[in-house]
Amino acid sequence: MSGPDPETKMQFLYSVRSRGVTDQKVLEAIEAIDRGMFVRGIFTDRAYEDVPLPIACGQTISQPSVVGMMTQALEISPRDTVLEVGTGSGYQAAVLSKLARRVYTIDRHARLVREARAVFEQLQLANVTSLVGDGSHGLNEQAPFDRIIVTAAAEDPPSPLLAQLKTGGIMVLPVGQSDHVQTLIRVRKTEDGLDYDELRPVRFVPLLEGLGKDT
């Protein structure tokens, strides 16, 4: 991270750690990516607060501690290929890119993908591929994935995503109704089936069908 002054940076990392992100590699990935690059306009001043913030198209950049939690729950190894559904600002994908071999990230809003891609280029994150599409169908061309993360809430884990997860793979996603507090869950795909565990309550924008209109 190069943007914030040392005091702000220390506070930022402290707030992420104090909310349960203890994996050193995840903390290093968060430290390496300047969240200020992914926040625009009047909200840039608040980039280092542990809060979600508005971005274009009526969407949000997630809270840094939630980004850390979800990343930690994925247990990524350097050989992994990760699919993220819900590029948004691109911040989560950038953090993932520091831990995985390759990251595919997909969003239904072309404008968000365009803006995130510009930041990935600026940061020279060569292992991130961003695409426009309805990610609830996954990304069949690149499947199967070692890890899948969904950063928008569905009532249930979308079955195409479960199908595109490797055996031995992990998927992390919020489930529940969009106007309620949802539950962050982790799904492990084993030889014997799917194991689910509940991680914590969260609140995400909904996973919607089809392509979005740019605003």
Q: Which residue ranges make up the site for ligand SAM (CB under 6 A)?
A: 59-62, 85-86, 88-89, 91-92, 106-109, 112, 134-136, 151-152, 204-205, 207-208, 212
CB-based contacts of 202, cutoff 8 Å, min separation 6: 66, 153, 174, 181, 182, 183, 184
Q: Which is nearer to ligand SAM, 171 or 207 (CB)?
A: 207
Helix H or strand E segment including 30? helix 24-32
CA–CA dist 27, 72 (Å, integer): 9
Residue indicated by tokens 């914590």: 200
DSSP SS3 for 76: coil
Q: How far is the CB of 191 from ligand SAM (least distance, A)?
A: 29
Q: Which is nearer to ligand SAM, 81 or 89 (CB)?
A: 89
Q: Which is nearer to ligand SAM, 159 or 190 (CB)?
A: 159
Distances (CA, A) of 86 to 108, 116, 211: 8, 11, 12
Q: Which is nearer to ligand SAM, 1 or 205 (CB)?
A: 205
* 62 belongs to the catalytic site: yes
Q: How far is the CB of 209 from ligand SAM (least distance, A)?
A: 6
Q: Residues 38, 95: contact at Cβ < 8 Å? A: no
Q: How far is the CB of 107 from ligand SAM (least distance, A)?
A: 4
> Could you say which of 2, 15, 18, 62 is catalytic?
62
Where in the sequence numbering do the catalytic residues fall? 62
